[in-house]
């Protein structure tokens, strides 16, 4: 990828990066290709104080290209799993996870499809999703927005959504925040009176009807939906440096 | 100091049908696979395994020795979904206790500290509480009165871990960049057995890495087994990385009964020495 014209994947990467704007000096854990690229874009441009790992246990002082091996000079600290748990319980973390299913209140499922007792498909298991979502800010990335992934009700609540958090009362829910969902079609949040998912912006070239048809519930659609910002030529240059192999271009379904 | 060296067979002799086994490492990383293979050879059954799960859980699912798994995830890392574990779950042949990864850590810590539980917010609002009706919440006794999940202690009968280096007395060294929670597995267990790439003198052990790498002390360990390649096919840095080709071969056997039989005959129904010879060729 040498073109300076923004692709859908570039727009998604910037939309991901925007999730981390003003996060400051906290750890970002971005799971998957486009989240990793977007978080690195944020760190390389407007959010340099973010702490990020190599995906394993090294904290890196600068954002490296996807797939690059860090050198000793790139390292600023150590973050083994034990420290990850302490950090997430401390709350100084913003995670962007994937979602096999996500529902209208932001409940996420990565555990299984079908009833948990007798799953049609066993997936990862809940992993850290319950603890992440109840302890610190969470965002989600959906590379292929469709009505099987964006559903009215998830099969198994791994990551906690707003209706579940509200049922815990003010104590239980005080650290819960689902900031945004970025998909290949648009950007969504939960800034509605009952925290139902709302369309924030459509990526350039995406029709509103396409989003409605591919969503398994009735989205809140405000008057005058925005278009997701397109990265500047300078940002596209940064994106090309951070993803020289074009992994994100392959991930995003157009 | 006692010389605790023994063979893998002597170590797994402590395991009987129906026991709860704790297995160290994480996913497909520094798993005590020589012990797991010895459990397969021994044929002990109705096991419960407590693990940050990888091919340890997968293999024991494939051989039908696992009755119950306690996990936060089961993954081969480079192959995100463990196919033998998936098959067992989807066929309904495995009892499962699925916890948040952090809850799992607190369960190990509670066991290590001889506490009945440790409190956490993790799990609140999620279906982890629904699928685990044995889990209870606890109300803070202080003015805040906050309701928290009481993660019960994950006590195990026997723990197995794999280190890079150890001495004969049971001091163990993890030279990779992540210690995982192997010390807690040992402390949560009635008996703990440690395999290692190489048994060295105590002097050599201490000189072999920073003091912080001495994760295991001899109080934690009942027996020490020298098992070069003992974490294969999972990674054991800096000694070796994951054997991705072998892992793919293992994963593929979940879809093909004949391939599984051949895999089992070649790699599992043989001694550890024959296994190491087979994978070296």
List, for residues B94-139, the tens digit of each pLDDT value: 999 999 999 999 999 999 999 999 999 999 999 999 999 999 999 9
| B3: in domain | no
| B281: in domain | no
A90 close contact with B: CB closer than 8 A:
no
What is the C-alpha to C-alpha distance for residues B229 and B247, in angstroms, rounded to an integer? 14
| A162: in domain | yes
Q: How far apart are the first and last CA of chain B?
A: 39
Which CATH number does the domain housing residue B92 bear?
A: 3.40.1080.10
Distance from CA of A34 to the nearest CA of B (A): 17
**Count of beta carbons in the 10 Å neighbourhood of residue A12:** 28
| A132: in domain | yes
Count the helix, strand and coil residues of chain B and give each as a percent rounded to the nearest 5: 35, 25, 40
Q: Do A134 and B121 touch (CB under 8 A)?
A: yes
Do B63 and B169 fall within a single domain?
yes
A contacts of B122 (beta carbons < 8 Å): 89, 130-131, 134-135
Half-sphere exposure of B134 (CA within 13 A, CB side): 9
Give the residue on A whose Cα is nearest the Cα of B92. Answer: A118
Structural domain including B125 reads 117-152
| B188: in domain | yes
Domain count, chain A: 1
A80 close contact with B: CB closer than 8 A:
yes
B105 close contact with A: CB closer than 8 A:
yes
A131 closest CB neighbour out of B73, B102, B146: B102
Do B248 and B138 fall within a single domain?
no
| A3: in domain | no
Residue A202, Ramachandran bin (φ over 0: left; ψ between -120 and 50: alpha; else beta): beta
Structural domain including A42 reads 8-251
Q: Do A119 and B90 touch (CB under 8 A)?
A: yes
Say what the pTM is: 0.97
pLDDT at A226: 96
Do B212 and B264 fall within a single domain?
yes
| B279: in domain | no
Do B130 and B164 fall within a single domain?
no
Which CATH number does the domain housing residue A241 bear?
A: 3.40.1080.10
| B104: in domain | no
Do B75 and B209 fall within a single domain?
yes
Distance from CA of A111 to the nearest CA of B (A): 9
Each of the 281 residues of chain B gets a pLDDT tens digit; together they read: 899 999 999 999 999 999 999 999 999 999 999 999 999 999 999 999 999 999 999 999 999 999 999 999 999 999 999 999 999 999 999 999 999 999 999 999 999 999 999 999 999 999 999 999 999 999 999 999 999 999 999 999 999 999 999 999 999 999 999 999 999 999 999 999 999 999 999 999 999 999 999 999 999 999 999 999 999 999 999 999 999 999 999 999 999 999 999 999 999 999 999 999 999 98
Q: How many CB pairs under 8 A join A and B?
A: 130
Do B204 and B181 fall within a single domain?
yes
Q: Do B100 and A133 touch (CB under 8 A)?
A: no
Residue of B25, B100, B145, B180 to mutate for A, most A C-beta atoms under 10 A: B100
Do B167 and B229 fall within a single domain?
yes
Do B121 and B86 fall within a single domain?
no
Q: How far is CA B73 from the centre of its chain?
A: 12
Do B195 and B59 fall within a single domain?
yes
Among all chains, which residue has been given the structure tokens 């090309």? A240
Half-sphere exposure of A83 (CA within 13 A, CB side): 14
Among all chains, which residue has been given the structure tokens 């994963």? B251
Do B177 and B266 fall within a single domain?
yes
Do B20 and B57 fall within a single domain?
yes
| A159: in domain | yes
């Amino acid at each position: 990828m040498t073109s300076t014209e923004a692709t859908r994947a570039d727009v998604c990467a910037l939309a991901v990066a925007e999730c981390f704007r003003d996060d400051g000096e906290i750890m970002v854990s971005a799971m998957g290709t486009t989240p990793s690229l977007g978080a690195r874009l944020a760190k390389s441009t407007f959010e340099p104080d973010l702490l990020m790992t190599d995906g394993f246990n090294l904290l890196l002082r600068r954002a490296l290209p996807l797939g690059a091996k860090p050198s000793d000079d790139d390292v600023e600290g150590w973050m083994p799993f034990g420290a990850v748990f302490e950090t997430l319980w401390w709350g100084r973390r913003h995670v962007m996870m994937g979602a096999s299913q996500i529902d209208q209140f932001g409940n996420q499922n990565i555990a299984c499809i079908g009833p948990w007792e007798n799953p049609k498909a066993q997936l990862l298991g809940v992993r850290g999703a319950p603890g992440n979502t109840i302890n610190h800010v969470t965002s989600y990335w959906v590379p292929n927005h469709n009505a099987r992934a964006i559903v009215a009700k998830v099969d198994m609540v791994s990551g906690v959504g707003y209706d579940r958090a509200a049922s815990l009362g003010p104590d239980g829910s005080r650290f819960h925040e689902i900031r945004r969902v970025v998909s290949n079609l648009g950007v969504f949040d939960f800034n509605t009176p009952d925290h139902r998912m709302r369309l924030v912006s459509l990526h350039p070239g995406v029709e509103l009807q396409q989003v409605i048809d591919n969503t398994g519930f009735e989205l809140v659609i405000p008057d005058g939906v925005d278009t997701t910002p397109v990265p500047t030529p300078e940002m596209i240059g940064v994106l090309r440096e951070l993803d020289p192999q074009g992994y994100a271009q392959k991930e995003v379904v157009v | 100091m006692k010389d605790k060296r023994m063979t893998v067979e002597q170590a797994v002799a402590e395991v009987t049908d129906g026991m709860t086994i704790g297995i160290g490492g994480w996913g497909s990383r520094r798993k005590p696979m020589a012990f797991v293979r010895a459990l397969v050879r021994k044929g002990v059954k109705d096991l419960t395994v407590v693990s940050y799960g990888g091919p340890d859980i997968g293999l024991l699912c494939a051989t039908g020795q696992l009755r119950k798994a306690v996990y936060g995830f089961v993954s081969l890392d480079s192959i995100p979904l463990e196919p033998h574990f998936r098959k067992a779950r989807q066929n309904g042949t495995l009892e499962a206790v699925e916890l948040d990864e952090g809850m799992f850590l607190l369960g190990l810590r509670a066991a290590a500290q001889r506490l009945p539980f440790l409190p956490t917010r993790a799990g609140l609002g999620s279906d982890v509480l629904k699928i685990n009706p044995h889990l209870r919440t606890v109300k803070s006794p202080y003015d805040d009165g906050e309701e928290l999940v009481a993660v019960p202690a994950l006590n195990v009968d026997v723990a197995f871990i794999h280190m890079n280096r150890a001495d004969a007395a049971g001091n163990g060294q993890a030279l990779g960049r992540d210690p995982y929670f192997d010390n807690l597995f040992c402390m949560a267990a009635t008996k703990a057995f440690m395999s290692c790439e190489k048994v060295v003198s105590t002097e050599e052990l201490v000189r072999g890495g920073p003091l912080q790498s001495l994760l295991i002390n001899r109080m934690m360990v009942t027996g020490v087994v020298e098992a070069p390649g003992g974490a294969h096919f999972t990674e054991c840095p800096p000694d070796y990385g994951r054997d991705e080709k072998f892992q793919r071969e293992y994963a593929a056997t979940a879809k093909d009964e004949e391939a599984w039989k051949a895999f089992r005959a070649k790699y599992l129904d043989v001694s550890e020495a024959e296994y190491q010879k087979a994978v070296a060729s």
